[in-house]
Amino acid sequence: MVIGIVLVLLVIGSVVFHIFSPWWWTPIASNWVFMDSMITLTFWITGAVYVAVILFMAYCIFKFRHKEGRVADYEPENTKLEVWLTVVTSIGVAALLIPGLVVWGQFVNVPDDANEVEVVAQQWYWSYRLPGKDGKLGIVDNRLISSDNPLGIDPDDPNGQDDVVIDGEELHLPIGVPVKMLLRSVDVLHDYYVPEFRAKMDMVPGMITFFWFEPTRTGEFEVLCAELCGTGHAFMRGAVFIDSETDYNLWLNEQLTFAQLTVPDQIEVADNLVPGTNGE
Amino acid sequence: MVDIQRPTPGEIPPSEVPDEDLYHPKSYWTKYIFSQDAKVIAIQYAGVATGVGLIGLVLSWLMRLQLGFPDLFDFITPEMYYQFVTMHGMIMVVYLLTALFLGGFGNYLIPLMVGARDMVFPYVNMLSFWIFFLAVIVLVASFFVPGGPTGAGWTLYPPQAILSGTPGNEAGIVLMLVSLILFIIGFTMGGLNYVVTVLQARARGMTMMRLPLTIWGIFTATVLALLAFPALLVAAVMMLFDTLLGPASSCRRSCRWASSLTTKGAARSCSSTCSGSLAIPKCTLWHSRLLASFRICFLLTRARAFSATG
Amino acid sequence: MMVWAIVGIGALSFIVWAHHMYVSGMHPYFGFFFATTTLIIAVPTAIKVYNWVLTLWKADIHLTQPMLFSLGFLVTFLNGGLTGLFLGNVVVDVPLSDTMFVVAHFHMVMGVAPLMVILGAIYHWYPKMSGRMLHEGMGKFHFWVTFLGAYLIFFPMHYVGLVGVPRRYPELGDSVFIPDSVADLNSFISLAAFTVGFAQLVFFYNIFWSLKYGKPSGPNPWRATTLEWQTPQTPPAHGNFGDELPIVYRWPYDYSVPGADEDFIAQNDPGPVKKPQAST
């Protein structure tokens, strides 16, 4: 009897908690509003089922609790009810699955005009590579990674010379332009996750994974690693800024390309040949 | 299924095999320690599983101390936190839930509920408990080795689990894998018992459809586990090879797989996985898929089948 | 039907595994397949839950200790199963993967619900194993603290995950997107966890206390039909059933059969003697 009351209170409490909860998703900054809509739809459907079933249980506990002389009804099978419940559940499941898969179809089909940005993860920081003026990312090989070549760009590939290298710093992206993030890991599993963008994907060493999104508001957003990668996993944070087009271009002009990264070495070498001269 | 007909005793089919003589223990050791009676084995399983589950419970408290009051407990470093996370997960899922549900309740209830005197392979049943006990000893030993227990997360993602950025990557992970291997061997012995007893040792008149749902749940879960655990065993062995023998053991295949998956344009870093010099990302594709998928597949299947008790 | 549901769940469970890998970088088209199979497997599971809940309808409910835990199981399993529908739907899983939402889900469905089952099972079969009943007051206290406490631990945790807090993070740092109140929520969850943990001491004490001082139970205190309650000795001796193995005449759920003498008919009860048939 008490448990019946507690169940009702539990359900009411859960619903009230949900309605008044200040703990909700952070405001979205990308085009994936449909993910939020799907979550809301799922909350409605599952919430309705939850409330209905538990209130039904509480009702049964009240009405059919043991009293002197009470005998249970003997009804071991009710095929009609089973079929009806199966049909209703299937419809409920389909109501969740079909819109979900439609949105997933959008998620996996990258728009043709998306920019490409490579994200390189390693224990325990983020680096990025932009295709540069030629719009193509050059070939990379993890074996070429060194202190001069932090992302392992192949120096023989002409496409790689103008790739913009951002080593451990923040990334900037222009607002309103869809971007395909190409994810690469140097060592172990990582996951590029910005809560405001909603999308995330693991980086798996040995393959290139991707996800795409379109930023819809400016601001500074924190990047978190969402796949356990060692002791520094919780501290592997980064920052991504969504800028207006002018701000983005200003930022881009300040970044170094791969060619520029390797050039100072040549200057240093040259300077060392001339004693007494300071390097740049 | 409703039995409307209640057949006369003559209509129940005779038993398929003659009633075999049970093993009767004679000494204290064979009666209480190395007992072959499923009821005693069940209590042994339940006791050890609960004991190690209490360790898991304390680990969860330590984690909650850190999460609830982050700045208060300096002695909980991130390394230790990950060790708590890993050991809590592994203990609770494998050494508590599987051992208690299937080893504890299964051993006690299956013979009683199907109308048998004991399990069909009592000696193997006894061995299965003691191998489980050994697996628990090895697991607890990992708390006391240099470097401590592994902190790779209970999914033990390779290659992170055996790299220097993860706690317990020297000895802890080795002991964890050895413990898992032992557990799986012991579980297979026990699992065969449960399955064969349900299939073959039912009393006269006990058809499969007259079995209580508890038995159906335990039976299905055991079947799923018997199918899924061997893959985990293989993955654990492969990872042991990687840790102890070095990266060459599973390099080449992951390289071929990687090359077929590279996207157009950007980077082809297949060759990077096979560089002999770095001790890193050799086996990720095979291992991470194999280990994670099969473990989680098993885990999920068992969780669902357990919903069927009752 | 329940049997077919169990077998169906078992068989289907072999083709759902990659729902843990939606963001692992696997080929995106797999997401369609595994989301579908995962949500299909929700249907037989739902049938089982309906069966359990509808068994309460027009029943004669004795709120014994095992019954309380069974009801607790239904609530928590329902909760966990429904949040699984969020995560099984591939596109909803993308923002929620590797957050505390996942941790809350699997603890609810795989931790709290099985814990209710284990405890309920121990309360149910303890009289068979020891010949004594567990102390009722301690049992009720243990149930309430465990059930409500565990619910209070993991229900709010879903919302921590919804905010975007990742799992396997020992500390949150001072991330902007996480409101300060999340730290308070975390503290609350921790306190609930310690309370539930300490309540288990009462349970262990009960087990040992009742071995000596518990009320003697007799062979079948729950008036159950299954064979383990029909053993000649309680606790069952070596060999379980004495000289003669039982012969089974009926399924295990003949409770409140109209026309029967008792409220239950044991599985090995042959029933009223039938007149021999002429053709035999």
Tokens read off for B172: 């802890």
The alpha carbon of residue B20 is apart from the nearest alpha carbon of chain C, in Å, by: 11
Instruction: Give the three-class secondary structure for C109.
Output: helix
What per-residue confidence (pLDDT) applies to C173? 82
Tell me if C54 sits within 8 A of A11, measured CB to CB: no
Pairing between strand A238-243 and A219-225?
antiparallel
Query: Is A139 or B4 the better-scoring residue by pLDDT?
Result: A139
Percent of chain A residues topping a pLDDT of 70: 94
What per-residue confidence (pLDDT) applies to A275? 53
What per-residue confidence (pLDDT) applies to B243? 86
C276 pLDDT tier (thresholds 50, 70, 90): low
Query: Is A167 or B91 the better-scoring residue by pLDDT?
Result: B91
The widest CA-to-CA distance across chain C, in whole angstroms, is: 87
A74 pLDDT tier (thresholds 50, 70, 90): confident
Query: Please, what sign has the CA dihedral across residues B53, B57, B58, B60?
Result: positive
Contacts of A28 (CB under 8 A, 6+ apart): A36, A196, A197, A198, A216
Tens of pLDDT, residues A95-133: 999 999 999 999 989 999 899 999 999 888 999 999 888
Of A23, A26, A107, the CB nearest to C94: A107
Tell me if A47 sits within 8 A of A96, measured CB to CB: no
Average pLDDT score over chain A: 88
Residues C205-217: b if buried by 16+ CB within 10 A, e if exposed:
ebbeebeeebeeb
Instruction: Give the three-class secondary structure for B265.
Output: coil
Tell me if C80 sits within 8 A of A83, measured CB to CB: no
Q: Do A136 and B269 lie within an 8 Å CB cutoff?
A: no
pLDDT tens string, chain B, 310 residues long: the values are: 444 445 555 567 776 666 767 778 778 787 788 888 889 999 999 999 999 999 999 999 999 999 999 888 888 999 999 999 999 999 999 999 999 999 999 999 999 999 888 899 999 999 999 999 999 999 999 999 998 999 998 999 888 888 888 898 888 999 999 999 999 999 999 999 999 999 998 888 888 999 999 999 999 999 999 999 999 999 999 999 888 887 544 444 443 333 333 322 222 232 333 332 222 333 344 444 555 555 554 454 444 443 333 3
Of C121, C226, C239, the CB nearest to B22: C239
Quickly list DSSP for A10-67.
HHHHHHHHHHH-S--PPPP-BSTHHHHHHHHHHHHHHHHHHHHHHHHHHHHHHHTB--
A271 pLDDT tier (thresholds 50, 70, 90): very low
Tell me if B103 sits within 8 A of B171, measured CB to CB: no
Residues B163-200: b if buried by 16+ CB within 10 A, e if exposed:
bebbbbbebbbbbbbbbbbbbbbbbbbbbbbbbebbee
Residues of A in contact with B166 (CB under 8 A): 230-231
Average pLDDT score over chain C: 90
Question: How far apart are the C-alpha atoms of B215 and C257, rounded to whole Å?
Answer: 23
User: Among residues B99, B115, B94, B96, which one has the least CA distance to residue B41?
Assistant: B99
Q: Do B159 and A210 lie within an 8 Å CB cutoff?
A: no
The alpha carbon of residue B34 is apart from the nearest alpha carbon of chain C, in Å, by: 15
Calculate mean pLDDT across residues A2-20: 92
Q: Which residues pair with residue A212 across a beta bridge? A: A180
Tell me if C142 sits within 8 A of C206, measured CB to CB: yes
Among A4-18, A197-211, C170-184, which stretch is predicted with the lowest mean pLDDT? C170-184
> Residue A270 above 60 pLDDT?
no
Amino acid at B245: L
Quickly list DSSP for C112-155.
IHHHHHHHHHHHHHHHHHHSBPPPHHHHHHHHHHHHHHHHHHHH
Q: Do A142 and B261 lie within an 8 Å CB cutoff?
A: no
Closest-CA residue of C relative to A62 is C61
C275 pLDDT tier (thresholds 50, 70, 90): low
Of A25, A81, A234, the CB nearest to C169: A234
Tens of pLDDT, residues C88-117: 998 999 999 999 999 999 999 999 999 999
Question: How far apart are the C-alpha atoms of B239 and B27, rounded to whole Å?
Answer: 43
Chain C, residues 55-94, CB within 8 A of chain B, namely 70, 77
Q: Do B263 and A189 lie within an 8 Å CB cutoff?
A: no
Instruction: Determine the residue among A80, A87, A97, A109 to mutate to test chain C binding: the one whose Cβ has the most chain C Cβ atoms within 10 Å.
Output: A97
Residue A125 phi/psi, 5° resolution? -155, 170
Tens of pLDDT, residues A249-261: 999 888 888 888 7
User: Among residues B127, B52, B138, which one has the least CA distance to residue B96?
Assistant: B52
Tens of pLDDT, residues C3-62: 989 999 999 999 999 899 998 888 888 989 999 999 999 999 999 999 999 999 988 899
Subunits in contact with chain A (3 or more CB pairs closer than 8 Å): B, C
Query: Is B32 or C120 the better-scoring residue by pLDDT?
Result: C120
Closest-CA residue of A relative to C180 is A23
Q: Do C3 and B209 lie within an 8 Å CB cutoff?
A: yes
What per-residue confidence (pLDDT) applies to B9? 52
Tell me if C6 sits within 8 A of B220, measured CB to CB: yes
Calculate mean pLDDT across residues A219-236: 92
Amino acid at B288: S
Among A87-101, A138-152, B295-309, C119-133, which stretch is predicted with the lowest mean pLDDT? B295-309
Chain C, residues 157-186, CB within 8 A of chain A, namely 159-160, 162-164, 166, 168-171, 173, 175-177, 179, 181-182, 185
Tokens read off for B247: 């990266």
- Residue A118, H or E segment: strand A115-122
Residues of C in contact with B303 (CB under 8 A): 109-110, 114
Tens of pLDDT, residues A171-189: 999 999 999 999 999 989 9
